[in-house]
Each structure stands twice: as structure tokens, then as C-alpha cells.
């Protein structure tokens, strides 16, 4: 369907105009191999399996994720294979390894991509920055992307609730003439609420900006700054956390999700409304230069360089745990742990 967003018109694919039944029919003779069983892999693989598609999983044998796959009902040598066997057996390969994992495994699996196969990504990183990743698929295959706008955990949780996460899709290479059909079928199959079109480059630029910005990096920074100022001025940990995080996540964000920011404002006190209306543009103006710089760093490839170098180190997991531990053990999130236990 065509929808207007201001002066722009976009084609939106919903379950009504591309049904699950149609998706199953399109992929009836396909064997879908989900490569990787870490962040996105479980959600997408299980949703596809529950929706009646022919799915197998490729994963490094005897790893933590391999054991998780077995626990989730995948059967060794039947629906669960090592990475190379999975790629060899699949007709559509959903490469859902981390970006660093894709770089490491590509030399081992590229020989299995014969003419007509489909190569599916949920992130445009590998091909947008192919000069850095050295991921260069053959020209005789379909290459496409479906990127859920949320974590694999959320994708699975909402699927089980009968809901879904919005996803973008993109076509990079259309060898068979059926790349779009394959992409949309998988998008519906994994449980997308609706799909909107993008490109590999735009997907990765927006994704990296969002993750470093309002979705993760900026929001943690704002939380930490406000909490610190309240504590410096004598407010208790409980009061500072509730005014910084708890009220936002438990009370206000659901209102924004329901009907938008203006609806949330309408459902707050007149004092809160006045203050928010007076201050939001100040925050916008202060942050615009930061976001412009962030987007420049992303589009130039500098953020990709940092990611590849950092995530390819042997001690990456150890360093990650150390950095996450710093956040977890901060007074802000230690307070949060206590407050969450008090929820009814």
C-alpha cells in the first residue's frame, strides 16, 4: 500500500497485502539456513519454523550457541549443522552472525554460493563496507536484506504475543528476478508487522547512527547526566532513579508508543507540559551538532573501522563484559535493580 508521510510517499508492505500464506507459497521449495544463533538468529529462526517454513540452522559446533540451538529443538544433522554444512544445504542463507563473525567466516563459506542461491542479511554493514570486510559475493546469486527494528529477543517475544516489529528491506542483487519476492516472504515469515524499503547503505547508516544515538548511546548518556546532577544536589538514589528512568520507561514511553509525544504531553500536568515545551528545543539545538558529527563519522566509515578493529580482537568478549560491568555496577543501575524488584 502507498502511504504519505508529509510530502513523501512510501510503499509499505503489510501482512494484509503480502500474506503469510503467500510467503509460504513463494518459499515452498526453499531450504532456509539461518547462519548464527546469537542475537538475531534464534528469534528469526524460531519464528520462521513456527510459521511453517523449511528452516535449518548453521552454527559453530559445540559452542554455547550450538547448545542453545539444541535446547530450542534443533536436531543435529537434521536441522542443525556446522556453518559450512548449513550453507551447503541451504538455498537461502540468512547470515545473522555478528559483523565481525561474518568477516571471519566468509572465506570458509563463499565457495558454497552457487548460481541462484539467496543471500540474506539483517544489516547492511558487510556489503556497504566490503572494502573493509572483504565480503564480495558472486554475481550469480540474489542478495537482499530484512532488518527488524529491534532485538531478536523482542522479535521473538512480540511474535509469541501475536504482534510484530517493523522491518526495512532492501535488494542488493536480483539475479533470479525473484529477490524482492524472497525478501518480502522472509520479512513476513519472521513476523514483521510491516516492511518499508531502503538500501543497504541507508540501512547501515541509519542503524549505526540510531544505536550510537537515541536508541542506546545517547539515552544512556542522558540518563547518567541527569541522575548525577540530581544526586549532586542531595536527592536520594531512589528519587533520582525514578525521576530519570522509571517514570519514563514505565509510564511515559507507553503513552508515546500509543499516540505520540503530544499525547504524552497532554496526559501530564500543566507544569510538566510548560517545562517540556520550553526545554525540548534547547536539547535539540545542543544535540544537533553531535548528531551531525555522528552521522559524518558513520558515513565516512570511521565507525566501521572502530567496530571491525574492536570486535575482531581475541579479548573482545572479555573487554565487553568489563565495559558492561561498569554500567551495571554504577549507582544508577544498581538502584534500578532494586527499584525493579519493587514493581507490583
- The region that residue 260 occupies, defined by phi over 0 for left and psi between -120 and 50 for alpha, beta otherwise, is left
Nearest to 147 by CA among 103, 96, 99, 214: 96
* Cβ-based neighbours of 78, under 8 Å, separated by 6 or more: none
Instruction: Give the HSE-up count for residue 102: Cα atoms under 13 Å, Cβ half-sphere.
Output: 27
Distance of alpha carbon 94 from alpha carbon 30, whole angstroms:
12
Distance of alpha carbon 283 from alpha carbon 299, whole angstroms:
24
Active-site residue set: 123
Distance of alpha carbon 299 from alpha carbon 261, whole angstroms:
29
Task: Please spell the DSSP secondary structure of 135-154, one letter per residue.
Answer: ----TTSEEEEEEESS-HHH
C-beta atoms surrounding 226 within 10 Å: 15
Read off the C-alpha cell for 186. 522472509
The sheet that has 118-121: what strands, in order across it?
A: 2-5, 8-14, 192-197, 165-173, 142-148, 118-121, 92-95, 32-35, 55-58, 80-81
Distance of alpha carbon 30 from alpha carbon 139, whole angstroms:
20
DSSP-assigned letter for residue 331:
H
Distance of alpha carbon 48 from alpha carbon 37, whole angstroms:
14
Q: What dihedral do alpha carbons 296, 299, 305, 306 form, nearest 10°?
A: 50
Measured between alpha carbons, how far is residue 219 from residues 68, 167, 223, 225, 344 in Å? 31, 22, 6, 10, 26
Distance of alpha carbon 61 from alpha carbon 287, whole angstroms:
45
Amino acid at each position: 500500500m502507498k502511504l504519505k508521510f508529509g510530502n513523501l510517499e512510501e510503499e509499505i508492505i503489510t501482512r494484509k497485502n503480502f500474506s503469510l500464506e503467500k510467503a509460504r507459497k513463494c518459499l515452498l521449495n526453499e531450504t532456509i539456513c539461518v547462519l548464527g544463533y546469537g542475537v538475531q538468529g534464534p528469534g528469526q529462526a524460531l519464528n520462521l519454523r513456527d510459521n511453517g517454513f523449511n528452516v535449518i540452522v548453521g552454527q559453530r559446533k559445540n559452542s554455547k550457541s550450538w547448545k542453545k540451538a539444541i535446547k530450542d529443538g534443533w536436531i543435529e544433522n537434521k536441522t542443525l549443522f556446522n556453518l559450512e554444512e548449513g550453507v551447503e544445504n541451504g538455498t537461502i542463507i540468512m547470515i545473522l552472525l555478528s559483523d565481525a563473525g561474518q568477516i571471519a567466516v566468509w572465506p570458509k563459506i563463499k565457495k558454497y554460493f552457487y548460481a541462484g542461491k539467496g543471500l540474506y542479511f539483517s544489516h547492511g554493514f558487510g556489503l556497504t563496507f566490503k572494502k573493509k570486510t572483504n565480503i564480495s559475493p558472486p554475481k550469480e546469486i540474489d542478495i537482499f536484506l530484512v532488518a527488524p527494528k529491534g532485538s531478536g529477543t523482542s522479535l521473538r517475544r512480540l511474535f509469541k504475543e501475536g504482534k510484530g516489529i517493523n522491518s526495512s528491506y532492501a535488494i542488493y542483487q536480483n539475479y533470479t528476478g525473484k529477490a524482492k519476492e524472497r525478501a518480502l516472504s522472509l520479512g513476513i515469515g519472521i513476523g514483521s508487522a510491516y516492511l518499508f524499503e531502503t538500501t543497504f547503505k541507508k540501512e547501515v547508516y541509519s542503524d549505526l547512527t540510531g544505536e550510537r544515538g537515541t536508541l542506546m548511546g545517547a539515552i544512556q548518556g542522558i540518563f547518567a547526566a541527569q541522575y548525577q546532577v540530581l544526586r549532586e544536589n542531595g536527592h536520594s538514589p531512589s528519587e533520582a532513579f525514578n525521576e530519570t528512568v522509571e517514570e519514563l520507561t514505565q509510564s511515559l514511553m507507553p503513552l508515546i508508543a500509543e499516540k505520540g509525544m503530544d499525547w504524552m504531553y497532554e496526559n501530564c500536568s500543566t507544569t510538566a507540559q510548560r517545562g517540556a515545551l520550553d526545554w525540548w528545543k534547547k536539547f535539540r539545538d545542543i544535540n544537533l551538532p553531535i548528531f551531525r558529527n555522528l552521522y559524518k563519522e558513520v558515513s565516512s566509515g570511521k565507525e566501521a573501522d572502530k567496530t571491525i578493529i574492536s570486535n575482531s580482537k581475541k579479548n573482545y568478549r572479555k573487554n565487553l563484559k568489563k565495559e558492561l560491568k561498569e554500567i551495571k555496577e554504577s549507582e544508577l543501575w544498581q538502584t534500578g535493580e532494586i527499584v525493579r524488584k519493587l514493581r507490583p
